[in-house]
Structure 1
């Protein structure tokens, strides 16, 4: 089977899909939009593109992306399947070309449609559409599938510190993270929380004084993974408009970490264990000492295997 994955692999999750496909003897092609993104050579080109977008409906970034995908796919005969993660990045012309080059078009979204409603305009190009959000799946008649465990550690003696970890973008979740940080400080429980703001200017005023680190650059996937492995507790704050389980949940599962989360729907999953997962109310946060100081209880392998990236690939591609 020959499959192309087209995605904006900004956070580095999608490369694990390619690795899983190759383990399953699939000829996998990854067109990584982020790694091959257009970069302005100078300020003049940036300004020129702004004028072209505003008055002539032309975007040099979109043109670059269209050419990248067409040139790459043109090197192959018709593919069995093309999987596109977040197709709203692609023009109708490019999606039409992908249809021409593939026997089956598959879409996957690991973000809520409320955050990017333009994605609805791409539905007509796909044979199957998957979403990680149960409510979106019901509302738009999509196929539901969770995110996946991309790395698993079975060594329970792996060196880890008594420390909570979170990394997230600067948004409406940040005040909640500050509250959690303050509670952990009062309980003398160490934490490493990182809030990333990639905008040039930061007008955010901290609500509570904490030891949270505020950064203006991304942290690499390798660095994040190392920090997760060396912590024993993770914090996951759900966006208010989403019900899907974030990758934080599956990192905690795969790496045997306790989890504090605001996602109430997690109680409906077969891996849920109140000893390992604490659900908190953002308006009234309570973190019991018992939860912080009891050991992690291992989740059975037969449950974890259902969420592994290789199982995810089998479901998406409908492999037996």
Structure 2
């Protein structure tokens, strides 16, 4: 559904997991003309002139100095990014800390409406604090980062509502998890081992090389190359239930897994207790694993039907409403953090 006409937006975003492609798809579906900029340009490096090539040859082959070309490449990348800047109606920057100051300075001159979203805890990135005041509004998803009133604004993550065709997929698996090999493994293995022994079909994907200590578990699959975010959505759509193990040491906000489940009408098993404070929480759809790892009732939970969420509540967390709220477009539903 087109909600805007003849509006241009610059999307400055990290290239992690290719989620930018999904954001582009959703922005275009609702009517935006999108200019996407990532911190690292894909344009092939070129010397500006013969002098640069000659100096690099001398430094590399005579003085064994590799920093000169590295500096040239960095400057080339900066210039390539800056060339993409143009006058637009909005700018949206996700993970502003990944962009250099001179780029941010020039970016916010492209529009009078400049917004930013940090989908990670602010405490992890010291530099981000100096960038917050530069934007029209700076949004965060962790309640702990709202301490500076009127400087940061609340939101959550979201689900993409431009992929309705995935809703029609018949699940192949009972449960799905995608993640890296990190401290969450200690929580993941007991959960999956229990469910595997109960006969459930699991799709447990770790982005890493095979780990010897985990090879005894037949339900784990290893991939050394990360999936794109859209591929992740395809696998989520292929499952009845999604497992979410949040990084409790990094932030308290709700992960994208939560909203994938909401958007695709999937059940969710999660370790994040704050989910109970949200308006879409329903114990028939969401199973919270507490610190005691109490799994009583897990069979009834998985086997029972998904309970439809009120459409007004569900739509509030769609990307379409999220972007309207972020950019302060009329007729949005405000997104708060309980």
TM-score by length of 2: 0.79
| Structure 2 CA distance for partners of 1:219 and 1:15, relative to 1, 3 Å | closer
Q: Aligned with 2:186: secondary structure?
A: helix
Within the alignment, does 1:311 sit opposite 2:330 as a pair?
no
Equivalent-residue separation in structure 1 for 2:147 and 2:113 (angstroms): 23
Within the alignment, does 1:115 sit opposite 2:128 as a pair?
no
Q: Aligned with 2:116: secondary structure?
A: strand
Contact 1:38 1:64 in 2 (8 A): no
Equivalent-residue separation in structure 2 for 1:156 and 1:219 (angstroms): 20
Q: Aligned with 1:232: secondary structure?
A: strand
For residue 150 of structure 1, what is the aligned residue in structure 2?
A: 160
For residue 179 of structure 2, what is the aligned residue in structure 1?
A: 168
1:292 shift after superposition: 1.8
Q: Aligned with 1:6: secondary structure?
A: strand
1:138 shift after superposition: 3.0
Contact 1:66 1:90 in 2 (8 A): no
| Structure 2 CA distance for partners of 1:191 and 1:301, relative to 1, 3 Å | same
Q: Aligned with 1:27: secondary structure?
A: strand
Rg bigger for which structure?
2
Within the alignment, does 1:247 sit opposite 2:256 as a pair?
yes
Equivalent-residue separation in structure 1 for 2:141 and 2:72 (angstroms): 31
Q: Aligned with 1:114: secondary structure?
A: helix
Contact 2:173 2:201 in 1 (8 A): yes
Equivalent-residue separation in structure 2 for 1:205 and 1:135 (angstroms): 38
For residue 101 of structure 1, what is the aligned residue in structure 2?
A: 110
Equivalent-residue separation in structure 2 for 1:28 and 1:264 (angstroms): 37
Number of aligned residues: 304
For residue 229 of structure 1, what is the aligned residue in structure 2?
A: 237
| Structure 2 CA distance for partners of 1:156 and 1:298, relative to 1, 3 Å | farther
Structure 2 gap segments, 5+ residues each = 1-6, 46-59, 331-338
Greater Cα shift, 114-123 or 206-215: 206-215
For residue 79 of structure 2, what is the aligned residue in structure 1?
A: 67
1:44-101 deviations in Å (ceiling 9; x for gaps): 8xx966x579xxxx7566534422221111xx3x323211100111111111111222
For residue 21 of structure 1, what is the aligned residue in structure 2?
A: 27
Greater Cα shift, 261-270 or 97-106: 97-106
For residue 8 of structure 1, what is the aligned residue in structure 2?
A: 14
| Structure 2 CA distance for partners of 1:197 and 1:208, relative to 1, 3 Å | closer
Q: Aligned with 2:122: secondary structure?
A: coil
Q: Aligned with 1:11: secondary structure?
A: helix
Aligned pairs for 1:204-283 within 5 A: 206=213, 209-210=216-217, 211-240=219-248, 241-283=250-292
Contact 2:26 2:160 in 1 (8 A): no
TM-score by length of 1: 0.83
